[in-house]
Structure formats: structure tokens, C-alpha cells
Amino acid sequence: MQNRFRGDRICILMFIISAIALLFWINISTEKQIEASYKRSIQAPLLNILGQVFKSDSIELNPYPIPKKFWPLLGFENQHYLNIAYQNSEAVALIIPATTQTGYSGEIKIIVAVSRDGQIIGVRILKHSETPGLGDKIDISTDDWILAFDGKSLSNTAEKSWTVRKDGGEFDQISGATITSKSVISKVFKALKYFEQDKVHLFGQTTPETDSL
């Protein structure tokens, strides 16, 4: 009788362990699906922009791990991936993620598309908690402020100009959200600094801007 009772307990314990393992696997699988869906949704606008710029609907993205030495520059503490955009098997642009913790309401995640000559193709906000009606104007769905970065590069915009106009820069500050504006501007600039330092490795050859330096 005692052996039977012990056997029943073992069966119940095994069932519980199996159930926990199954729930854990389902949770991990669901998280990965959500993450993949999220990445596709945030890349879609920039893919559309890239398609317009390069006059092609066949732009392909290839993920690439950002080297650890550049994590602090882009605001990361762990591994993140940029995407290399290819047209007809030729690398034509990078889509660089970056994060800043200095928004008025904390963390702001951004993504910057840069052509191989170093010019910004587009910038989009991925995530933020900025004040509605003020700081949330960094989001393209609320305001066109973010479009001011289009066409900017390190070669056509001096380092001292990467701030708001009232501080001597080239960018308008969002009314009532100067801290947010400066935070995004600074991080976009750092994304370009990363591009400048790692582009030869990523593209596998010198680019026009490299030759001119």
C-alpha cells in the first residue's frame, strides 16, 4: 500500500514537472513570436522608405550583431542587432537601433536608416513614454518633427550643430519638450558616429565618405 502511495506521488510530481516545462516552452515560444512580429512592424516603415529611395521593392535585410565595444555608444548593455539592407545582393544601407535613457519620461528607443555614403535615410521612434501633446511629437504618427533628420550626415552637419537651435544647433526643439528633443538628437548623432567607425567592416570596403576624409 505504501509503495502504491509513493508511486502515485511520483506520477503526480512528474505530471507537475511536465506541465511546468510545457508552460515554460509555450511562454518562450510566444515571446519569440511577439518579438519577431514587433521587429517586422517597426522595420516595415523604414523598408518602405528604403524601397522609395532605391526605387526597389526587393530590399532584403540581413541581421548583424553589433560589436560589444559599440554597445555604450548606442545605449545598450547587451547584444543587439543592426540590419544590413541589400539590393540585388549589394549592401546599400544600414538600419541601426539605439536607445537613450535621457528622455523626459525615461527610455526612448529609436532606429536610424543610413545609406552607405553616410546620409540619414530616415529615423523612427520605436518606443517611448513621453508626454502626450508634447514629447510624443517625436513619433511620426503624431508630428513630422522626426523628418528633420532626413539627409543629414556627419559631413554636412557639424558636430556642434547636433542640438536644438536655442543652443546653437540646426534642429528645432519641440515646444515644451526640449529635453526630449535634445535626447533624440544626441542619440541619432551617436548612431552616425557608430556608422562612421564600423562602416568599412560592415560594407567590406571603403565608401565615398571614407575616401574624402
Q: Are the CB atoms for 118 and 155 separated by under 8 Å?
A: yes
35-59 tens-digit pLDDT: 555 455 556 666 666 766 666 667 7
72-82 tens-digit pLDDT: 999 999 999 99
pLDDT value of position 11 = 61
Burial class (CB in 10 A: 0-12, 13-18, 19+), 94: buried
pLDDT value of position 200 = 87
User: How confident is the prediction for the chain on average, in pLDDT?
Assistant: 81
What percent of the chain stands above pLDDT 90?
46
Q: What is the phi/psi pair of residue 179, to 5°?
A: -60, -45
Look at residue 162 and give its three-state secondary structure.
coil
166-192 tens-digit pLDDT: 999 999 999 999 999 999 999 999 999
pLDDT band at 207 (very low <50, low <70, confident <90, very high): very low
pLDDT value of position 8 = 58
pLDDT value of position 209 = 44
C-alpha cell at position 96: 541601426
